[in-house]
């Protein structure tokens, strides 16, 4: 029996009707009618304050959205995830990234086996290894300590640790340089290894499957680079470690499985940064700081599990997203951190959100008749203000945005932080309230300039304000978005944990690679555009088609 599409539920229909009533209501009026709105529409979650008052919603909207979440069984669904049920049905897997931050003694079972002791055993091994690298006790092949760590991975095996290593830079040791190579474009590894000494460089090959083309190509190049410098096959064991679920593949590559850190098929790639995939980060910040990060994740997990839906930060973020996507026609969602150290946060969220909810069929294979995951994008403020904010303020599109900021900076530099935060607060105020034509005219503008200088406002934002970007706060922030994405997936009826959409391109690339390099002209059987482009490329590379 198939589950009815969410769009057929009475709660969805009620929201559609409600949206018509609310379409022309302005945030100015919502605030004028409710002087406490700014205080009232806020929640605290794991040390983060979420102000959602500048969203185009009334109490009725929120009630209806929560009713929708209840109607799709959000609470039960979350319980199924946390308890290790195989909710990733297309891959027959449990979804247990939350077990990665379980405390010792907590029991989380998959197929009747408690997975928590295994999680803690790996964490202990990771911690011991990270300390050896940080203290200089781990010596490279020529007896020198490690100075540079290069993580080789892509997608979930890169974006999380890369984002977090930058985010937590103030907590990292200055004795080590931690770098990330992901792109199969040789320019990436060429730049990341430029000037490095193989004798003091450690590579972490991070790949859940250990078959990903980009990562395997970069790992092979790194090994050749190392051997070119150290001239001894035995050096590989001192300069390469692996993070993977695939022991046989790791061994086949030549890495000693003693130096392999495992995780499990119930950890999705994009949910894996707090598993062994976070080894590079742990080396940078140390095991204690890593534990603080896990504590932040855990605190948000607890909030998500226990807070009433109407006061539940991830649920509110998710339902607001559903509101804009499905009832007010938004196509994208901006994430705008006013924190330079969160420079890669939107990149990370793109995979988390778009690989999870960029789907057109429900869990049981029905085509949806509503919009699902939005395009997620963003860069740190204030840079964006001088680039694309014009469109946010006066363009024709509805772009809901999350503004993320902190009371304390990573570095206290003059009055920079107060200037930054003045912009942070100013932007959400300007977006919500705008400036009327009367106000513009009162300032002396005349004629056509009045129209140009008018800001219609009513542009929705959510503000996430934390005390400081600590490891704990980062963990809480990431878990906030993990559970947001989960909640939206449940509302839309999706399997947020597979990614079949990335397969076709991978298969075609595998077919095309030999066609680009074959000495003889290949028998091309693609469409006429692809055939012509391949021929042109071969010709530009001096590979004659004769």
Name the catalytic one among 20, 258, 386, 412: 386
How many CB atoms within 10 Å of residue 247?
Answer: 14
Shortest distance, position 60 Cβ to ligand F6P, whole Å = 39
Measured from the CB atom, the residue of 121 and 502 that comes closer to ligand F6P is 502
| DSSP symbol at 374 | P
Angle of CA points 48, 54, 55, to nearest 5°: 100
Closer by beta carbon to ligand F6P, 348 or else 403: 348
Contacting ligand F6P within 249-278 (CB under 6 A): 269-270
- Catalytic-residue membership of 355: yes
| Contact indicator for 421, 468 with CB cutoff of 8 Å | no
Q: Is 24 helix (H, G, I), strand (E, B) or coil?
A: coil
Q: Which residues, numbered 11-50, are part of the site for ligand F6P (CB under 6 A)?
A: none
Give the active site residue among 355, 417, 482, 483. Answer: 355
- Residue whose structure tokens are 């919500």: 432
* Closest distance to ligand F6P from the beta carbon of 152 (Å): 10
Nearest distance from C-beta of residue 514 to ligand F6P, angstroms: 22
Half-sphere exposure of 100 (CA within 13 A, CB side): 28
With helix as H, strand as E and coil as C, how does 445-496 read? CCCHHHHHHCECCCCCEEEEEEEECCHHHHHHHHHHHHHHHHHHHHHHCCCC
Among 102, 180, 499, 515, binds ligand F6P (CB under 6 A): 499
> How near is the Cβ of 153 to ligand F6P at its closest, in Å?
6
Q: Is 513 exposed, middle or buried (0-12, 13-18, 19+ CB in 10 A)?
A: exposed
Q: Does 151 bind ligand F6P (CB under 6 A)?
A: no
Whole-angstrom Cα distance, residue 432 to residue 352?
A: 28
Residue 139, helix vs strand vs coil = strand
Q: Which is nearer to ligand F6P, 329 or 501 (CB)?
A: 501
Interface characters, 205-224, with ligand F6P (x: CB under 6 A): --xxx--x--x---------
- For the bound state, the minimum distance from the C-beta of residue 271 to ligand F6P, rounded and expressed in Å, comes to 9
- Cα separation, 283 vs 149, in Å, equals 8
Q: How far apart are CA 1 and CA 363, in angstroms?
A: 12
- Give the residue with the Cβ less far from ligand F6P, 93 or 208: 208
- 172: closest CA among 254, 282, 36? 282
CA atoms within 13 A on the CB side of 197: 10
Distance of CA 55 to CAs 20, 200, 206, 356, 391, Å? Answer: 16, 52, 40, 24, 18
- Identify which range of 204-212, 224-232, 376-384, 482-490 contacts ligand F6P by CB under 6 A: 204-212
Out of 502, 513, 521, 532, which residue is the one contacting ligand F6P (CB under 6 A)?
A: 502
Q: Are 359 and 501 in contact (CB under 8 A)?
A: yes
Our CB check for ligand F6P shows the closer of 213 and 411 to be 213
> Residue 203 or 323: which CB sits closer to ligand F6P?
203
CB-nearest residue to ligand F6P: 269
Neighbours of 404 (CB within 10 A): 25
In whole angstroms, what is the distance from residue 524 CA to residue 63 CA? 57
Nearest to 150 by CA among 214, 196, 213: 196
Residue 355 CB, nearest approach to ligand F6P (Å): 6
- For this structure, is 482 an active site residue? no
Residue closer to ligand F6P, measured from CB, 182 or 462:
182
Q: Please say if 18 is a catalytic residue.
A: no
155 belongs to the binding site for ligand F6P (CB under 6 A): yes
Among the listed residues 154, 315, 319, 465, the single contact to ligand F6P using CB under 6 A? 154
Residues 306-365 that bind ligand F6P (CB under 6 A): 355
Q: Which of 53, 98, 157, 340 binds ligand F6P (CB under 6 A)?
A: 157
Q: Which is nearer to ligand F6P, 289 or 359 (CB)?
A: 359
Q: Write down the least CB distance from residue 213 to ligand F6P, Å.
A: 9
- Options 42, 156, 457, 460; binder of ligand F6P; rule CB under 6 A: 156
- Cα–Cα dist 128/282, whole Å: 10
Nearer residue to ligand F6P within complex by CB, 243 or 401: 243
Q: What distance, in Å, lies between the first and last C-alpha atoms of the chain?
A: 58
Question: Does the footprint of ligand F6P cover residue 280 (CB under 6 A)?
Answer: no
Q: Cβ–Cβ contacts within 10 Å for residue 322, how many?
A: 22
Output the CA torsion 298→299→305→310 (10° steps): -150
Whole-number minimum distance, CB 376 to ligand F6P, in Å?
Answer: 16
* Nearer to ligand F6P (CB atom), residue 101 or residue 208: 208
Secondary structure in 3-state letters for 232-278? CCCHHHHHEEEEECCHHHHHHHCCCHHHEEECCCCCCHHHCCCCHHH
Q: Given the residues 408, 416, 452, 506, select the one marked as catalytic.
A: 506
Q: For residue 336, list its beta bridge partners.
A: 403
Per-position x/- string for 442-481, each x denoting binding to ligand F6P as judged by CB under 6 A, each - no binding: ----------------------------------------
Nearer to ligand F6P, 47 or 269 (CB): 269
Q: Nearest-CA neighbor of 487 among 305, 268, 341?
A: 305
Stretch binding ligand F6P (CB under 6 A), from 20-28, 73-81, 201-209, 439-447: 201-209
Q: How big is the site for ligand F6P, counted in residues (CB under 6 A)?
A: 14
The residues that are catalytic are 355, 386, 506
Residues that bind ligand F6P (CB under 6 A): 154-157, 207-209, 212, 215, 269-270, 355, 499, 502
């Amino acid at each position: 029996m198939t589950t009815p599409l969410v769009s057929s539920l009475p709660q969805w229909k009620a929201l559609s009707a409600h949206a018509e009533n609310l379409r022309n209501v302005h945030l100015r009026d919502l605030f004028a009618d409710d002087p406490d709105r700014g205080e009232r529409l806020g929640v605290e979650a794991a040390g983060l304050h979420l102000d959602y008052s500048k969203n185009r919603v009334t109490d009725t909207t929120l009630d209806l959205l929560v009713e929708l979440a209840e109607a799709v069984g959000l609470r039960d669904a979350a319980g199924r995830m946390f308890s290790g049920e195989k909710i990733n049905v297309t891959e027959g897997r449990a979804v247990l990234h939350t077990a990665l931050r379980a405390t010792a003694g907590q029991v989380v079972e998959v197929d009747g086996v408690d997975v928590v002791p295994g999680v803690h055993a790996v964490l202990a091994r990771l911690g011991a290894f990270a300390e050896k690298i940080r203290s200089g006790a781990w010596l490279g092949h020529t007896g020198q300590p490690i100075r540079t760590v290069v993580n080789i991975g892509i997608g979930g095996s890169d974006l999380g640790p890369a984002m977090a290593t930058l985010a937590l830079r103030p907590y990292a040791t200055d004795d080590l340089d931690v770098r990330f190579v992901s792109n199969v474009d040789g320019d990436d590894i060429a730049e990341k290894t430029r000037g490095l000494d193989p004798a003091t460089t450690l590579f972490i090959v991070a790949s859940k499957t250990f078959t990903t083309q980009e990562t395997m190509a970069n790992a092979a190049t790194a090994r050749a680079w190392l051997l070119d410098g150290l001239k001894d096959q035995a050096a590989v064991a001192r300069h390469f470690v692996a993070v993977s679920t695939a022991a046989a593949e790791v061994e086949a590559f030549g890495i000693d499985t003693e130096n392999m850190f495992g995780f499990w098929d119930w950890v999705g790639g994009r949910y894996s940064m707090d598993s062994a995939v976070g080894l590079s980060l742990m080396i940078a910040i140390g095991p204690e700081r890593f534990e603080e990060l896990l504590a932040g994740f855990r605190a948000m997990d607890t909030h998500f599990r226990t807070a009433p839906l109407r006061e539940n930060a991830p649920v509110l973020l998710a339902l607001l997203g559903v509101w804009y996507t499905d009832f007010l026609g938004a196509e994208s969602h901006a994430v705008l951190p006013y924190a330079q150290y969160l420079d890669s946060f939107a990149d990370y969220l793109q995979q988390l959100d778009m690989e999870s909810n960029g789907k057109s069929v429900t869990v049981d294979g029905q085509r949806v008749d509503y919009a699902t995951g939005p395009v997620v994008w963003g860069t740190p403020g204030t840079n964006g203000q001088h680039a694309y904010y014009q469109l946010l303020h006066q363009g024709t599109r509805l772009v809901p945005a999350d503004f993320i900021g902190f009371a304390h900076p990573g570095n206290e530099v003059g009055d920079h932080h107060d200037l930054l935060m003045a912009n942070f607060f100013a932007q959400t105020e300007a977006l919500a309230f705008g400036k009327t034509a009367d106000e513009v005219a009162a300032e002396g503008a005349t004629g056509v300039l009045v129209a140009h200088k008018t800001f219609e406002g009513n542009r929705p934002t959510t503000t996430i304000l934390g005390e400081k970007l600590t490891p704990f706060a980062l963990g809480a922030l990431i878990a906030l978005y993990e559970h947001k994405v989960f909640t939206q997936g449940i509302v839309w009826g999706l399997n947020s944990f597979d990614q079949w959409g990335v397969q076709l391109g991978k298969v075609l690339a595998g077919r095309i690679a030999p066609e680009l390099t074959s000495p003889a002209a290949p028998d091309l059987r693609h469409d006429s555009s692809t055939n012509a482009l391949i021929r042109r490329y071969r010709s530009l590379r001096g590979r004659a088609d004769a």
